[in-house]
Structure 1
Amino acid sequence: MLATFLIGLREGLEAALVVGILVAYLTRLGRRDVLPRLWAGVGLAVGLALAIGAVLTFGAYSLTFQAQEILGGTLSLVAVGMVTWMIFWMQRTARTMKKTLEGGIDRALAQGSMWALVVLGFVSVAREGVESALLLWSMVESFGDAPAALTGAVLGIAVSVAAGYFIAKGALRLNLRVFFTWTGAFLVIVAAGVLAYAIHDLQEAAVLPGPFTAGAPVDPVTGAVAVGWAGFPFGWAFDLSGVIAPGSAIAVILQAIVGFMPQMTWLQVIAWVLYVAIVGTSYLRGVRGPERAARPAPAVAPASVPPSPHMRDALVSSASTEGAR
């Protein structure tokens, strides 16, 4: 519930802030008459996200095990791609989001079309909705506990809607830059875990080489798939199932927060490490960039320029004249 709660809170608050900016601007323009069109677009976006989540979670599929694993792994990769893009998009456009959204309203009102505002409301929320549906579905699949995961997501979205309302009314102050910075870093770790789970699905489907295929390295003593360096690169990187039970509370918490599983393949570990190293480093650079730009430049003392020979002679002559006086 913790991981899905935080995801629902972040995604929901982002959508709530977008809608709040649009509603506040229309109200300031005195065009509350077109608010129903905006809300219609928002409602369509929410309906699309719920429909995608319901189909993925509760839909009945007449697929083979291999096809199910391929579908799950592919959709998890799509979710990772969307989350990664959203993290950097939010980091890049957060400062100009209000101006961009207000410009979209101006263009929609200038067109005079009823559908222009409907489309604006739909597009403004649909991205977060579809992204949340895919990410939450991937996490539900990896946890194997749909009720708890969905409950956490619903609670997070409910809190985000309430927070967005009170922020718009001025009753709640929240440092959004700090909030989105920390939740963005959390999403980098979550996305790395989803990526590792996607690799596991694709290995089970034999799309990628791993311990489930005939090419896996085998321990000559036990005959089982090799573990550790002997299993590199297509065996098990480690197997801590004897220490941490796969279904235990600590295993679920670690998987939810950092994507850790008691038994992971080398490809999973490599994918996790590379994702966190590359995406995490790029994200931290983006965070530090605005902070450095906001710091005032240090005052620089004017450089002393040595006087020219003519100026030096004039100064000496002036000093001699003063001495004579």
Structure 2
Amino acid sequence: MLANYLIGLREGIEASLIVGILVAYVVKVGRKDVLNKLWFGVGIAVVVPLGVGALLTWGPYGLSFQAQEIIGGGLSLVAVGFVTWMIFWMGKTARTMKGTLHTRLDAALLGAGWGVVVLAILSVGREGLETALFVWATVASVGGSWEPAVGALLGIITAAIIGFGLYRGFVKINLGKFFTWTAGFLILVAGGVFAYAIGDLQEAGLIPGAGVHAYDISTIIPASSWYGTVLQGIVNFNPSPTWLQVIGWVAYISVVTFFFVRQHRTAAPSPAKRAAEMTTSTQQPVAH
């Protein structure tokens, strides 16, 4: 649940920042008449991921075991790809997010402003789709338990509260450090989902090595124990992985961590300055 809470929190705060920047700019340029259109687009961006999550959850029912494993493994790989891209995208574009959204919004405000609906759907919907896909992958990896989904929902609710506080200026947090630390944690979570995807594809017969375990520590950390359940829920812990799962997990963690650290060492300005800029950009202008 903790892993998905952080996923929901991180993605929710990203979405809240985007909405806050859009709303603040619309108010600043005196186009309050399009606020309803903006919120309509945000509403669609929220509903679509819910539909995608429902389709992923109930769509595969009735299929053969092999087909379900192929779909599960394939979509888990897609989820890992989305999350990995999200981590590096945020580190690269956080400094220019405000300016980019303002430029796109200027174009969307032309005429009656219906382009704002499309901009809201694309800007916010991406975060929702990433969340839906990754949460589904983690739910599937722990045997269909709904705790991860509940954790993600609680994270999104928390993010909405924090986002409102940032917009109103009631809350100030170091967003640079927040995104950096949560990104590091999500690398671990994504590594677990990547290993799970390999296991699914092995079970489906698409990848060899099924049943050939690298080790088995289930007697030391039983999967059914409370601590085994906690580890499984946080980092998709598997007490008896195959050799390919171990190799895949180590390779993913090593490669992604290397490029993540390199990106943050060469990034400028500092995370604290980026956080201050992003926090300021979401605050509502004072009316005179």
Q: Normalising by structure 1, report the TM-score.
A: 0.80
**Alignment partner, residue 172 of structure 2:** 173
In structure 1, the partner of 2:155 is: 156
SS across alignment from 2:214 = strand
Q: 1:283 and 2:260 equivalent?
A: yes
Letter in 2 for 1:182: W
Larger radius of gyration: 1
State the 1:145 CA deviation: 4.8
In the aligned structure 2, how far is the partner of 1:272 from the partner of 1:252?
A: 19
Which position in structure 2 is the counterpart of 1:246? 223
How do residues 64-83 of structure 1 correspond to structure 2 at under 5 angstroms? 64-83=64-83
Shift of 1:109: 1.4
Find the aligned partners of 1:113 and 1:239 in 2 and give their Cα distance.
Answer: 63
Extract unaligned runs of 5+ from structure 2. 272-288
1:273 is aligned to: 250
Q: Is 1:118 aligned with 2:117?
A: yes
- Trace 1:41-56 onto structure 2 (pairs within 5 A): 41-56=41-56
Question: Residues of 2 paired with 1:211 and 1:293: CA distance?
Answer: 46
Task: After TM superposition, give the deviation of residue 293 of structure 1 in Å.
Answer: 7.6
- AA aligned opposite 1:193: G
Give the match's secondary structure for 1:209. Answer: coil
Equivalent-residue separation in structure 2 for 1:259 and 1:271 (angstroms): 14
Aligned-pair CA distance for 1:42: 1.1
- Measure the CA separation in 1 of the matches of 2:205 and 2:60: 23
1:107 & 1:10 partners in 2: Cα distance? 28
Q: 2:60, 2:68 within 8 Å by CA — same for their partners in 1?
A: no
Taking the aligned partners of 2:105 and 2:137, their CA distance within structure 1 comes to 34
Secondary structure of 1:261's aligned partner: coil
Instruction: Give 1:196 deviation, angstroms.
Output: 0.4
Identity of aligned residues (%): 54
The secondary structure found in structure 2 opposite 1:236 is coil
> Which stretch of structure 1 is more off in the superposition, 278-287 or 254-263?
254-263
1:237 corresponds in structure 2 to 214
Q: Is the 8 A contact 2:194 2:249 kept in 1?
A: yes
What amino acid maps onto 2:133 in structure 1?
L
Amino acid at match of 1:155: L
Partner of 1:28: 28
1:145-165 deviations in Å (ceiling 9; x for gaps):
532211111110000000000
Partner of 1:185: 184
Q: Give the letter aligned to residue 140 of structure 1.
A: V
Q: Deviations over 1:46-73 (max 9, x none)?
A: 1110001112124462210000000000
Q: Secondary structure at the match of 1:55?
A: helix
Kept after mapping to 1: 8 A contact 2:37/2:114:
yes
**Matches of 1:29 and 1:98 in 2, distance apart?**
15
What is the Cα deviation at residue 259 of structure 1? 3.1
C-alpha distance in 1, partners of 2:63/2:53?
Answer: 18
Aligned-residue offset at 1:211: 2.8
The 10-residue stretch of structure 1 (138-147 or 5-14) with the greater mean CA deviation from structure 2: 138-147
Using the size of structure 2 for normalisation, the TM-score is 0.90
The question of whether the paired residues in 1 share the 8 Å contact of 2:187 and 2:256 is answered with: yes
Cα offset for 1:260?
Answer: 2.2
Paired residues, what number? 271
Deviation at 1:189? 0.9
Higher relative contact order (CA 8 A, sep 6+): 2
Aligned partners of 1:190 and 1:256 also within 8 Å? no
Cα offset, 1:250, TM superposition: 1.4
Q: In structure 2, what is the Cα distance between the partners aligned to 1:69 and 1:210?
A: 15
Paired residue type of 1:102: H
Partner of 2:98: 98
**What residue ranges of structure 1 are gaps of 5+ in the alignment?**
213-234, 295-325
Tell me: CA distance 1:116–1:154, structure 2 relative to 1, closer, same or farther (3 Å): same
Partner of 1:7: 7
Q: CA RMSD in A?
A: 1.5
Distance (whole Å) between structure 2 residues aligned to residue 93 and residue 237 of structure 1: 40
